[in-house]
């Protein structure tokens, strides 16, 4: 399981999540940050510091946000 960065990141891109990630699994893509689902250790540190509440556990994604999980998988080739 992994955390997923959703649409509020597209306009914010604060990068607080990158600073706190203990496994460095967050990278900046073209329009937003992405979490590598194969490296994420499910610690939740990124979710706690996101100023726009853009990060959610994949099990708690709304249907409209599932696309962001797919985009992260595509970005990392998972």
The residue whose two tokens read 């540190």 is 45
pLDDT tens readout for residues 25-44: 999 999 999 999 999 999 99
Q: What is the pTM of this model?
A: 0.93
* Domain ranges for the chain: 3-76
Assess if CATH 1.20.200.10 describes domain 3-76.
Answer: no
Secondary structure letter of residue 70 according to DSSP: H
Tell me how long the chain is: 78
- pLDDT at position 1 is 72
Extract the tokens encoding 62. 């709304």
**Would you say 25 and 15 are in contact if contact means Cβ atoms under 8 Å apart?**
no
């Amino acid at each position: 399981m992994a955390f997923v960065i959703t649409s509020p990141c597209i306009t914010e891109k604060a990068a607080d999540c990158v600073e706190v990630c203990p496994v460095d699994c967050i990278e900046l893509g073209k329009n937003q940050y992405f979490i590598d689902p194969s490296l994420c250790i499910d610690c939740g540190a990124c979710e706690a510091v996101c100023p726009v509440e853009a990060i959610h556990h994949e099990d708690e994604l709304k249907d409209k946000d599932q696309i962001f999980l797919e985009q992260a998988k595509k970005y990392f080739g998972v």
